[in-house]
Structure 1
Amino acid sequence: MSDPDIDIIPIAFLNGLAPPLVNFANAGDNCTTFPEGPSLLDCPQIEEDIKTCQAKGKTIVLSMGGATYSGGGFQSADAAVDAARTLWATFGPEQPGSNALRPFGSAVIDGFDYDFESATSNMVSFGQELRRLMEDATASGDKRFYITAAPQCPYPDQANGEALAGGVSFDFIMIQFYNNYCGVQSFVPGAAQQYNFNMETWDAWAASTSLNPDVKILLGIPANTGAGAGYTEGEALASVIQYSKQYASFGGVMMWDMSQLYANEGFLGEVVNALG
């Protein structure tokens, strides 16, 4: 992945938290299972892909949850903390003496993404422990790590609400402005007030509710007609992006997903041109 117009690549999904379970769709075709842990995939090709992309300056985050996740989070705060430590040993920096199985081998991801689409419990304790582990690693000389989220656009988000309501410090959030009434398709060009498209509401969240006052918001859009309801292109999309750029928290555009994007020739260029 050498495309200079792409900065962040979320890998989807970690769809089980305790114990860790992964489903990478067809990207998992070259993975095998660990003999000592047959529920977890060993993915040397993805390991090499991560290293290649990071060498080209790309940020790689692992998305947790997804539409098929039904675990509900954790039964207690202690269980959430334990799970955070396990995931850190599994996907974070290699730890001397650890016997954790590592799907990506020696590759180290740059962070974790909250992409839960149903109610979850104790995710604040989980995120706070992840943040502590990340900051300790960075203070010891490692790279910077990120915690991100991909809430749906209705506010407040029902699945990640407690974490987003000041419980967890997020570095950036990639809001899904699709499959909902508040998606990009609801934007009215030239209107003095937007009644459905709610970037203004999320910018207010960033300024007044987010634990991290410097959090950035990415405008999440479908990358093709088959990627989600509300696909928008051309001048209509350019208008949405131009409008969103007025907000201090705006940080760019997220597209779902990579396969849909590359099947839609020229779309990435449209987005980049609109971003200016």
Structure 2
Amino acid sequence: MALASRRATSLAALVCVVGFLAGPAAAAGKTGQVTVFWGRNKTEGSLREACDSGIYTMVIMSFLNVYGHGKYRLDLSGHPIAGIGDDIKHCQFKGVPVSLSIGGFGADYSLPSKQSALDLFDYLWNSYFGGSKKGVPRPFDDAWLDGVDLFLEHGTPADRYDVLALELAKHNIRGGPGKPLHLTATPRCTFPPSSYLGRAVATGIFERIHIRIYDDDNCEAYWQLAWDKWTAAYPATRFYVGLTASEMTPGWVHPKNVYYGVAPYVQKAENYGGIMIWDRYYDKQTNYSSMVKYYA
């Protein structure tokens, strides 16, 4: 706890310095989006409740955390699956798209070959989008998701997330009229990215990337440099600054310092898109998004 406090204080002090240089006026000059991760704690409330909060412009369910070797598992931390399909449709009706994040913090996923990437696409298409294949369950019945997010905490140079991304884009899997797939990634802020993620992002087809500036020792003092490198390397992609709503997580930024420091800095990038919040459980406890959304 002491370490977390020191890290949070360090980052808070850093962004205060940036704030004196940039000033709060930049935060008022742009409007952005607020994306939140949902599905990591049963007590965070339902997906419908998250969308009805009026805070978020996108919700990412997490995680599909087993894939790549013939087995697949969706882990929503004890949330009852029954009814989520109706919640997805409810969110979409309200104009809040819902994506599925693959990967996560476990060690049971990989895409070690082109075929494994194609197999994962086939599974996603038939389970969560427009397909229907005997023996492949549809957890959310006939509800179609709006996108796929890559939240990759480990991998090897052999992993073929580029093949998966290209296949998703090629099939325009959302399928609804005028509703293209939201293809996103949520990496740690270190730049350059890992080879397996870098090869995927280099395809140029990712709509947005959420850069996590929390819980990363390598970026605590230098996240601005990493942000500049990310946004310059992929000018066609929208970038979101990833913040944690938990004060106990290393790298937490006080809302005041988001206003005076983080927001003015990230909004200098022409391809700035908004804020990503980890996660709905912490956010519901702290009301973090209800404060920082005004600076997005």
TM range (shorter): 0.7 to 0.9
1:106/1:233 Cα in 2 relative to 1: closer, same or farther (>3 Å)? same
What is the distance in 2 between the residues matched to 1:153 and 1:49?
32
**Structure 2 gaps, min length 5:** 1-50
The alignment partner of 2:179 has SS state of coil
1:234/1:168 Cα in 2 relative to 1: closer, same or farther (>3 Å)? closer
The alignment partner of 2:73 has SS state of strand
What is the distance in 1 between the residues matched to 2:144 and 2:234?
29
What is the distance in 2 between the residues matched to 1:162 and 1:236?
34
Tell me the equivalent position of 1:2.
52
What is the distance in 2 between the residues matched to 1:62 and 1:135?
13
What is the distance in 2 between the residues matched to 1:132 and 1:115?
21
Cα displacement (A) at 1:135: 5.9
**Structure 1 gaps, min length 5:** 31-42, 187-194, 208-212
- TM-score, with structure 1 as normaliser: 0.80
Q: How does 1:52-91 map to 2 (within 5 A)?
A: 52-74=90-112, 76-91=113-128
Cα displacement (A) at 1:251: 0.3
Aligned residue identity for 1:203: T
Aligned residue identity for 1:4: G
What is the distance in 2 between the residues matched to 1:163 and 1:235?
35
Tell me the equivalent position of 2:256.
235
What is the distance in 2 between the residues matched to 1:78 and 1:131?
17
Deviant stretches of 4+, over 3 Å: 135-138
Contact kept in structure 2, 1:12 and 1:62, CA below 8 Å: yes
What is the distance in 2 between the residues matched to 1:143 and 1:20?
26
Tell me the equivalent position of 2:74.
22
Aligned residue identity for 2:78: N
Aligned residues: 239
Q: Which has the higher contact order (CA 8 A, sep 6+)?
A: 2
- The alignment's C-alpha RMSD in Å is 2.0
Task: Kindly indicate which of the two structures has a greater share of residues assigned to helix.
Answer: 2
Tell me the equivalent position of 1:40.
none
Contact kept in structure 2, 1:86 and 1:100, CA below 8 Å: yes
- TM-score, with structure 2 as normaliser: 0.75
Contact kept in structure 2, 1:89 and 1:100, CA below 8 Å: yes
1:255/1:196 Cα in 2 relative to 1: closer, same or farther (>3 Å)? closer
The alignment partner of 2:215 has SS state of coil
Equivalent pairs: percent with the same residue? 24
1:6/1:16 Cα in 2 relative to 1: closer, same or farther (>3 Å)? same
Contact kept in structure 2, 1:181 and 1:196, CA below 8 Å: no
